[in-house]
Amino acid sequence: MPDPKILLVEDEEENQLLGMTLLRKLPAQSFLARNGAEALALAIEKLPDLVLLDINMPIMNGFEVLEKLRVEPKTTELAVIMLTSSVTPADFTRAKKLGAKGFLNKPYDIDNFLSRVCLELGLPKP
């Protein structure tokens, strides 16, 4: 079975670097999108097994990306975990209605980040 594919969608450089460094510890292919438009294009092209999707981004926020992923035939079933520094009850409800698997808080707790990704993909934790 090929390595799973993970798409990290993050606009902040520090979080991009940390997230990609952590993902490289896993037996997976990792891709980075820096905004919502890149995220949509890469999701359709690569069909990742998991999308780690930042909520607060310029141009198109994470909810808008998730809405578009859900109507694109190739990406309707992608597993998505939202990334945020604060989850409001409204954010939680909206994400769940759109089919998100849950949330990871920023700044990233390294152990929690890796555990959650590994759990979602059925990978051993490094």
* 3-state SS string for the chain: CCCCEEEEECCCHHHHHHHHHHHCCCCCEEEEECCHHHHHHHHHHHCCCEEEEECCCCCCCHHHHHHHHHHCCCCCCCEEEEEECCCCHHHHHHHHHCCCCEEEECCCCHHHHHHHHHHHHCCCCC
Please give the model's pTM, rounded to 2 decimal places.
Answer: 0.96
**Domains assigned to the chain:** 5-17+26-52+62-121 (3.40.50.2300)
Q: What is the pLDDT along the chain (126 residues), one digit of tens a residue?
A: 589 999 999 999 999 999 999 999 999 999 999 999 999 999 999 999 999 999 999 889 999 999 999 999 999 999 999 999 888 889 889 999 999 999 999 999 999 999 999 999 999 988
